Amino acid sequence: MAEKQDDIEVVASGGKSKLMIIIIAVVVLLLAGVGVMMFLGGDDEPASEDVAAVATVKQTPIYFAIDKPLIVNFSDQSKDAVRYLSVKLKIMSRDQAVIDAFELHQPAIQHELLLLLFGQQYDVLMTTEGTKELQKQTLITINEVLKAEKTTGEIESVYFTSFLMQ
């Protein structure tokens, strides 16, 4: 007695259709891989963000001190009381060429700084705000002299290492 199954039909499928499905799947995976690689930056040229990140890396600071203090008399500004200001300062830049230019033009810079210091009011410099403003003005004055001498780059900071008023 043989049993007969009507609901199951066995059809022999060809090997060509399975092969086509496998080839299409491999091509799709390869295209997806190439797309992901290009998206994640597989190219050899640096992106503009990479260049900007490299540009923001700061160089080591270079300090330079003016050897002699800058001394200014305040007799006119202090109602003829004998008063003076003595300032020692250091500058900071991250470019040796700017430090070299500062050294070369130091006489002109000292002249301009003495004029700046002489124009200050004794009573204003007694305050922290006045001293900080003088520090900003000193930086601006130095950079203006360097710019007038066609120096590329600027001094980044000025530090008062001694600030004596009597």
Choosing from 40, 55, 70, the residue where a domain stops is 55
Q: Where residue 123 falls among pLDDT bands split at 50, 70, 90?
A: confident
Instruction: Tell me whether residue 131 is in a domain.
Output: yes
Q: Any bridge partners for residue 158, and if so which?
A: 91
Q: Say whether both 83 and 149 belong to one domain.
A: yes
pLDDT surpasses 70 at 78: no
DSSP 105: T
Q: Where residue 165 falls among pLDDT bands split at 50, 70, 90?
A: confident
pLDDT surpasses 80 at 80: no
Instruction: Tell me whether residue 69 is in a domain.
Output: yes
Q: pLDDT (tens digit, 9 = 90+) per residue, 23-60?
A: 888 888 888 888 887 777 655 555 566 555 555 677 89
Q: Say whether both 83 and 156 belong to one domain.
A: yes
Q: Which residues of 136-163 are buried (b: 16+ CB within 10 A; e: fewer)?
A: ebbbebbbebbeeeebebbbbebeeeee
Q: Say whether both 121 and 40 belong to one domain.
A: no
pLDDT surpasses 70 at 14: no
Q: Could you tell me which of 110, 112, 125 has the C-alpha nearest to residue 68?
A: 110
Q: Could you tell me which of 67, 65, 71, 68 has the C-alpha nearest to residue 165?
A: 71
**Per-residue CA distances from 72 to 17, 76, 100, 114 (Å):** 97, 11, 26, 7
In this structure, of 20-29, 36-45, 77-86, 135-144, the range with the lowest mean pLDDT score is: 36-45
pLDDT surpasses 70 at 63: yes
Instruction: Tell me whether residue 94 is in a domain.
Output: yes
Q: Say whether both 51 and 97 belong to one domain.
A: no
The mean predicted confidence, pLDDT, of the chain is: 83
- Tell me, what CATH number does 116's domain have? 3.30.479.30
Number of domains observed in the structure of the chain: 2
Measure CA 130 to chain center: 28
pLDDT surpasses 70 at 5: no
pTM of the predicted protein model: 0.64
Q: Where residue 10 falls among pLDDT bands split at 50, 70, 90?
A: low
Q: Say whether both 100 and 47 belong to one domain.
A: no
DSSP 132: H
Alpha carbons 118 and 84: distance in angstroms, whole number? 10
Identify the pLDDT of residue 54: 55
DSSP 145: H
Q: pLDDT (tens digit, 9 = 90+) per residue, 99-116?
A: 999 999 999 999 999 999
The two tokens of residue 45 are: 């040229």
